[in-house]
Structure 1
């Protein structure tokens, strides 16, 4: 008989010695980085203000209620401006994003070596800069007003719409494209009859979703002089009219909820 107890079995380990050492080194540098970031954060922190923050927040909260309901009559025009900024900016962004998306898609670009990298660069550049930064630059170039907000929203929307749209173009059914091309159709006819019908639901869903996002972003562009509700918010904050600030928050909340409802209904209808 074989003496099972006499067998020598090596202890099984989930990680080898080198892997465990690498994990300990990783944890060490993570702790060191955390300590460094904490020290960097506290370097210019005035803890007297931090300890007083709850009292200050309670004081501001008391001043914010009740909301200045009569102030809502002064918000209809800024609200209309905000909706126009979001809508017109979205339209501009979508119009520019459509050709950029076709140039960026690997199956529709005329040149993968030259044209596609340029289109991808446009998409990345648009998505890398926040709409608030675009607004800051445009206010300095164009001047304060609604036009700066509209162009800022449009420039920000190009990358978002073009990225999702070119991904939808690359995921189309190739068999439909080959079937239309086999009839002798030109390149434009292939796009019109084989590609566009496949991406049209995604296009409408992306556009409406971006409009919903732009509604929220356009409410704060006025803080840098681009018009809309943000301009009223800045004025109320500068005069410490906290009950007016509350009313602006209520209007923004209702507007965002309404845009979310409209966006959801449209996406359900087209998808």
Structure 2
């Protein structure tokens, strides 16, 4: 919108004529791309099923309610497996992520030319593959069960934890490191007394936050045979036992809410 002085002469304008044309051209291109994508989606969609979806959902809901509360006795062991997958997978990931993070941080890596790119490659590789894909691969390699789920969670978490941790390492106060170095401390003593105390709060927060995420992800790994309560969910879905499915979904929701509460309390205590 242009602004004019008392004589009506334009003295300021948000965009020049060319900038305004480019702005509208970008909007036009965005609308064209959206319409093209919507057309492709519409061609690949069977709209009869979409219009019938509310009736199907209502029918499934009526079959799933009330939940089969007696089935709860079958869920304690899978629920415990899910908790173990999330907890042990997080701990295993932390043990692997700490050295990777120190090798990836610019101020702690032994070689920015050779070692740091390898560490960054490990981080990117871990983060680029979803835990379900890791679980599918591991189930094919070592067979179905809790071990596959645990390793899938760990492999997925290494990149997440290492990335946040090496960023925390790069943001430390260098003056504390210089003070410890000035005392004649060795490289390991500088790391132990100058770097580690500064990143401990971030390290604890990352660990708890990732455990919270892993508990959510571990509830569905059983769908591909990686153990946990997701395996019971898949079994119930396969036989169309909707009251059991409803109970399992309620239990998963309660478990996620509990993990969120625990995570928030722990992070609040740390921060």
TM-score, normalised relative to structure 2: 0.95
Deviation at 1:260, TM superposition (A): 1.6
Matched, 1:119 2:122: no
1:257, CA displacement in angstroms? 1.5
Deviation of 1:116 (Å): 0.9
Partners of 1:196 and 1:69 in 2: how far apart?
49
Separation in 1, partners of 2:134, 2:8: 69
Give 1:8 shift: 7.0
| 1:1-271 aligned within 5 A | 9-10=9-10, 12-271=12-271
Of stretches 251-260 and 152-161 in structure 1, the one that deviates more from structure 2 is 251-260
- Cα distance in 2 for partners of 1:49, 1:108 equals 57
Distance in 2 separating the partners of 1:11 and 1:269: 56
Q: Distance in 2 between matches of 1:240 and 1:8?
A: 74
Tell me the TM-score normalised to structure 1 length: 0.95
Matched positions, count? 267
- How far apart are 1:147 and its partner, in Å? 0.9
2:112 is paired with a residue whose SS is coil
How large is the RMSD of aligned CA atoms in angstroms? 1.4
**C-alpha separation between the residues in 2 aligned to 1:239 and 1:201?**
47
1-structure distance, mates of 2:20, 2:260: 49
Aligned-partner Cα distance in 1 for 2:8–2:231: 78
5+ residue gaps, structure 2: none
Q: How far is the alpha carbon of 1:17 from its aligned partner?
A: 1.4
> CA offset at residue 209 of structure 1?
0.9
Post-superposition Cα deviations, 1:214-255, rounded to whole Å, max 9, x if no partner, equal 000000000011010110000111111111111001111111
* Structure 1 residue 197 displacement after superposition: 0.9
* Distance in 2 between residues matched to 1:239 and 1:184, nearest whole Å: 69
